[in-house]
Structure 1
Amino acid sequence: MPTPRDVLLLLPRSALAALADRFGVDLPDRRKKATIVDAMLSAPGLQVDELLRSFRIDELKELCRALGLNARARDKALLVERLLDDRSPESMARGAMGAPRAAAARLGPESAARDGRLTKEQIVGCLLEADKLLRHALGPSGQHRMTIAVLLLLKRLNDAEPSTLDIAVPAQARWATVEASLPAVDLALNRACVALEESNPALEGVLSWLDFTDVRRLGDRTERLRLLHELLRLLSWMSLRDGDLATPDTLRRAFQMFLEEADLRDAKRAGESHPTIAIAELMAELLDPSEGMRIYDPACGYGTLLVECATYVERRGGDARKLLLRGQEKSVEAWTLARINMLLAGLPDAQIDRGDTLRDPSSTVDGYLRAHDRVLCVPPVGLTWWGHDVAERDHHARFRYGVPPKNRIEFAYLQHMLASLHRRSGVMAMVAPGGVLFRGGTEGEIRKRMLRDDLFHAVIGLPANLLPATRGPAALLVLSRAKPALRKHKVLFIDASRGFQEERRRNRLGPEDVTKIATTFRSASDVPGYARLVDVDEIAANGFSLAVRRYVDARAPPTDDASAQMWRRVELRNYRSIAEATVDLAPFTVLVGPNGSGKSNFADAIVFARDVATDAATAVERRGGLAGIRRWQPAEEDDRAEVYVDVRAATSRSALETDYLRHQFTIRAKGDGAWAFHNETIELFVRGAPVLWVERTPEGLDVETEPGRRVVSSGSAPRLSETASAMVFARQLFDIARVTALRNVTRIRLNAEAMRKPQVATENTRLDESGSNIAVAFRSLEAEGQARVLAAMQRIVPGLLRVSVEAFDRFLLLKFEQHQPGGHVARFSASEMSEGALRALGILVAAQQMTGDELLIIEEPEVAIHVGAAQLLFDVLKDASTRGSLLITTHSADLLDAAREEEILVCSYRDGVTQIGPLSSAQREVVRQGLFSVAELMRSEPLRIEGEEPATVQL
Structure 2
Amino acid sequence: MTTPTITQSELENYLWGAATLLRGYIDAGDYKQFIFPLLFFKRLCDVYDEEAEHAKADHGAVFREDHWLELEIPDGSHWDDVRQQATNVGMAIQSAMRTIESTNQELFGIFGDAPWTNKQRLSDATLRDLIEHFSTQELSLSRVSEDMLGQAYEYLIKKFADDSGHTAAEFYTNRTVVQLMTRLLEPQTGESVYDPTCGSGGMLLATAMELREQGKEFRNLRLYGQEINLITSAMARMNLFMHGFEDFEIIRGNTLSNPYFIRDDELRQFDIILANPPYSIKQWDRDAWVNDSFGRNFLGVPPQGRADYAFLQHILKSLKPMSGRAAILFPHGVLFREEERDMRTRLVEDFDLVECVIGLGPNLFYNSPMEACIMICRRNKDSKRQNHILFINALDLVTRRQAQSFLEPEHIEEIVQAYRQFEDIENFAKVVKVDEILKNRGSLSIQLYVRSSLSDNEDERPLDAVIEDWQTSSKNLRQSMSELFKKLEYKPETDQSSKNGVAPKNMIEEIRDTNSEKVEE
The answer to whether the superposition gives a TM-score over 0.5 is yes
2:119 to 215, 223, 247: 215
Q: Could you tell me which residue of structure 2 aligns to residue 170 of structure 1?
A: 74
Distance 1:477 1:557 in 2: 19
Query: How large is the Cα RMSD of the aligned pairs?
Result: 2.9
CA 1:177–1:420 in 2, change beyond 3 Å: closer, same or farther?
same
Q: Could you tell me which residue of structure 1 aligns to residue 502 of structure 2?
A: none
CA 1:729–1:271 in 2, change beyond 3 Å: closer, same or farther?
farther
Matches within 5 A, 1:789-938: none
| 1:165–1:346 Cα contact (<8 Å) kept | no
Matches within 5 A, 1:726-745: 732=518
Distance 2:135 2:431 in 1: 55
| 2:29–2:163 Cα contact (<8 Å) kept | no
Answer yes or no: is 1:225 the counterpart of 2:225.
no
Answer yes or no: is 1:154 the counterpart of 2:154.
no
1:180 to 84, 89, 95: 84
CA 1:424–1:142 in 2, change beyond 3 Å: closer, same or farther?
same
Q: Could you tell me which residue of structure 2 aligns to residue 430 of structure 1?
A: 328
Q: Which amino acid aligns with 2:343?
A: I
1:328 to 226, 230, 237: 226
Distance 1:557 1:209 in 2: 46
Q: Which amino acid aligns with 2:22?
A: L
Query: Per the alignment, in what secondary structure is the counterpart of residue 487 of structure 1?
Result: coil
1:704 to 475, 481, 485: 475
Q: Could you tell me which residue of structure 1 aligns to residue 292 of structure 2?
A: 394
TM-superposed deviation, 1:431: 0.4
TM-superposed deviation, 1:197: 0.9
Answer yes or no: is 1:291 the counterpart of 2:195.
no
TM-superposed deviation, 1:258: 1.4
Q: Could you tell me which residue of structure 2 aligns to residue 340 of structure 1?
A: 238
Distance 1:510 1:117 in 2: 32
TM-superposed deviation, 1:467: 2.2
Give CA-to-partner distance per residue, 1:515-559, whole Å, 9 cap, x none.
222222222233222222222222222222111122122127757
TM-superposed deviation, 1:716: 8.6
1:448 to 345, 351, 355: 345
TM-superposed deviation, 1:145: 0.8
| 2:26–2:121 Cα contact (<8 Å) kept | no
Q: Which amino acid aligns with 2:314?
A: H
Answer yes or no: is 1:240 the counterpart of 2:139.
yes
TM-superposed deviation, 1:272: 3.0
Matches within 5 A, 1:397-546: 397-441=295-339, 443-452=340-349, 453-546=351-444
Query: Per the alignment, in what secondary structure is the counterpart of residue 219 of structure 2?
Result: helix
CA 1:349–1:496 in 2, change beyond 3 Å: closer, same or farther?
same
Give CA-to-partner distance per residue, 1:180-208, whole Å, 9 cap, x none.
22444323212220221122011122226
Q: Could you tell me which residue of structure 1 aligns to residue 508 of structure 2?
A: none
CA 1:158–1:662 in 2, change beyond 3 Å: closer, same or farther?
closer
CA 1:213–1:296 in 2, change beyond 3 Å: closer, same or farther?
same
Distance 1:388 1:257 in 2: 38
Query: Per the alignment, in what secondary structure is the counterpart of residue 318 of structure 1?
Result: coil
2:471 to 689, 693, 714: 693
Distance 1:368 1:712 in 2: 39
Matches within 5 A, 1:294-309: 294-309=192-207
Distance 1:404 1:504 in 2: 38
Query: Per the alignment, in what secondary structure is the counterpart of residue 256 of structure 1?
Result: helix
Q: Which amino acid aligns with 2:475?
A: E
| 1:429–1:477 Cα contact (<8 Å) kept | yes
Distance 1:277 1:731 in 2: 45
2:461 to 656, 665, 668: 656
Distance 1:729 1:228 in 2: 64
Which one has more relative contact order, counting CA pairs under 8 Å at least 6 apart? 2
Distance 1:557 1:379 in 2: 26
Distance 1:319 1:212 in 2: 40
CA 1:467–1:556 in 2, change beyond 3 Å: closer, same or farther?
closer
Distance 1:118 1:461 in 2: 41
Distance 1:141 1:126 in 2: 17
Which protein has the bigger strand share? Answer: 1
| 1:273–1:467 Cα contact (<8 Å) kept | no
Distance 1:172 1:729 in 2: 75
TM-superposed deviation, 1:171: 3.6
Q: Could you tell me which residue of structure 2 aligns to residue 194 of structure 1?
A: 98
CA 1:271–1:285 in 2, change beyond 3 Å: closer, same or farther?
closer
Greater Cα shift, 477-486 or 171-180: 171-180
Q: Could you tell me which residue of structure 2 aligns to residue 358 of structure 1?
A: 256
Distance 2:278 2:272 in 1: 19
| 2:191–2:271 Cα contact (<8 Å) kept | yes
Distance 1:475 1:230 in 2: 44
Distance 1:181 1:477 in 2: 53
| 1:270–1:382 Cα contact (<8 Å) kept | no
Give CA-to-partner distance per residue, 1:470-502, whole Å, 9 cap, x none.
320111101001222221211111112221221
Q: Which amino acid aligns with 1:145?
A: K
Distance 2:117 2:148 in 1: 31
Query: Per the alignment, in what secondary structure is the counterpart of residue 407 of structure 1?
Result: coil
TM-superposed deviation, 1:435: 0.2
| 2:112–2:230 Cα contact (<8 Å) kept | no
Query: Per the alignment, in what secondary structure is the counterpart of residue 328 of structure 2?
Result: strand
Q: Which amino acid aligns with 1:158?
A: C
Query: Per the alignment, in what secondary structure is the counterpart of residue 444 of structure 2?
Result: coil
Distance 2:171 2:40 in 1: 24
| 1:459–1:476 Cα contact (<8 Å) kept | yes
TM-superposed deviation, 1:134: 1.1
Distance 1:248 1:316 in 2: 19
Matches within 5 A, 1:1-400: 117-135=5-23, 137-160=24-47, 162=51, 163-207=67-111, 209-215=113-119, 217-218=121-122, 224-245=123-144, 248-269=146-167, 272=170, 274-381=172-279, 383-400=281-298
CA 1:178–1:323 in 2, change beyond 3 Å: closer, same or farther?
same
Answer yes or no: is 1:553 the counterpart of 2:451.
yes
Query: Per the alignment, in what secondary structure is the counterpart of residue 147 of structure 1?
Result: helix
Distance 1:460 1:178 in 2: 51
| 1:270–1:380 Cα contact (<8 Å) kept | no
* Runs of 4+ displaced beyond 6 Å: 728-731
CA 1:296–1:336 in 2, change beyond 3 Å: closer, same or farther?
same
Q: When the two structures are superposed, what TM-score results if normalisation uses the length of structure 1?
A: 0.47
Query: Per the alignment, in what secondary structure is the counterpart of residue 471 of structure 2?
Result: strand
| 2:395–2:452 Cα contact (<8 Å) kept | no
CA 1:231–1:382 in 2, change beyond 3 Å: closer, same or farther?
farther
| Higher CA-based Rg | 1
Which protein has the bigger helix share? Answer: 2
TM-superposed deviation, 1:445: 1.0
Q: When the two structures are superposed, what TM-score results if normalisation uses the length of structure 2?
A: 0.83
Q: Which amino acid aligns with 2:361?
A: P
Distance 1:556 1:505 in 2: 20
Q: Which amino acid aligns with 1:173?
A: S
Give CA-to-partner distance per residue, 1:7-28, whole Å, 9 cap, x none.
xxxxxxxxxxxxxxxxxxxxxx
Distance 2:186 2:109 in 1: 33
TM-superposed deviation, 1:264: 2.5
Distance 2:419 2:267 in 1: 29
Give CA-to-partner distance per residue, 1:300-358, whole Å, 9 cap, x none.
11111112122222223334331221111111121221222222122233111111111
